[in-house]
């Protein structure tokens, strides 16, 4: 079960549970070469096989089940998001992931989804820190996390042979988020 309070309605997006109707556009997102350039490359599994597998994941609703990022104006699937404990760092550290479909790039959907996940992890999940793993060549993501949200590099992944090898681990402490005027309830 996802630990976040859903749905959340923002100015441009709605973050909600993945629905069966999202699986086709979700597959399109996961197979897009440009979207998946920095996150392990596109899915190569045949469409119907991938959709059937993801439908099982969706129905089980485990802690790693992605959430849908939907365009508020239309309700259309615009991307995926999730948050989970980053146990390799600490019990109170959570990691955030957001992936937005190319059609919605430049519309601040990713920024809005990330801010919601970070706010919620600090306020509702009692996180002490948040991390994001970012390819050093992914300038838009680095700009979002480092310049706009104040995350700082704490490490570089060393996973020889894995797609995250060389990715930056960006980190934000609860106190730093609070200094930015963000609400914290824990």
Q: Is residue 136 part of a domain?
A: yes
Residue 2 lies in a domain: no
Strand partners, 93: 129
Total-model pTM: 0.91
pLDDT digits (tens, 9 = 90+) for 7-35: 999 999 999 999 999 999 999 999 999 99
The number of distinct structural domains making up the chain is: 1
**How many CB atoms sit inside 10 A of residue 183's CB?**
9
Domain residues for the domain of 112 are: 8-179
Q: What does the pLDDT look like over 119-147, one tens digit per residue?
A: 988 988 889 999 999 999 999 999 999 99
**Residue 156 resides in a domain:** yes
Nearest to 95 by CA among 57, 134, 68, 137: 134
Tell me whether residue 3 is in a domain: no
Q: Residue 181 pLDDT more than 80?
A: no
Tokens representing residue 69 in the block: 């990022």
Helix axis angle for 47-60 and 23-30, nearest 10°, is: 120
Question: Looking at residue 125, which CATH number applies to its domain?
Answer: 3.40.630.30
The Cα–Cα gap between 120 and 109 comes to: 17
Q: What percent of the chain has pLDDT over 70?
A: 96
- Pairing type for strands 129-134 and 93-100 reads parallel
Q: Is 185 contained in some domain?
A: no
């Amino acid at each position: 079960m996802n630990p976040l309070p859903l749905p959340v309605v923002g100015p441009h997006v709605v973050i909600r549970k993945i629905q069966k109707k999202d699986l086709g556009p979700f597959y399109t997102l996961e197979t897009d070469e440009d979207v998946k350039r920095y996150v392990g490359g596109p899915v190569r599994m045949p469409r119907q096989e991938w959709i059937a597998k993801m439908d099982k994941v969706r129905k089980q609703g485990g802690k790693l089940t992605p959430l849908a990022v939907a365009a508020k104006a239309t309700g259309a699937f615009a991307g995926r998001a999730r948050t989970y404990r980053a146990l390799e760092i600490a019990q109170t550290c959570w990691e955030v992931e957001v992936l937005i479909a190319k059609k919605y790039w430049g519309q601040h959907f990713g920024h809005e989804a990330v801010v919601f996940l970070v706010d919620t992890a600090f306020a509702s999940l009692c996180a002490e820190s948040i991390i994001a793993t970012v390819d050093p060549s992914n300038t838009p993501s680095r700009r979002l996390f480092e310049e706009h949200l104040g995350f700082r590099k704490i490490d570089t992944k060393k996973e020889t042979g894995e797609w995250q090898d060389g990715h930056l681990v960006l980190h934000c402490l609860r106190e730093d988020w609070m200094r930015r005027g963000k609400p914290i309830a824990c």
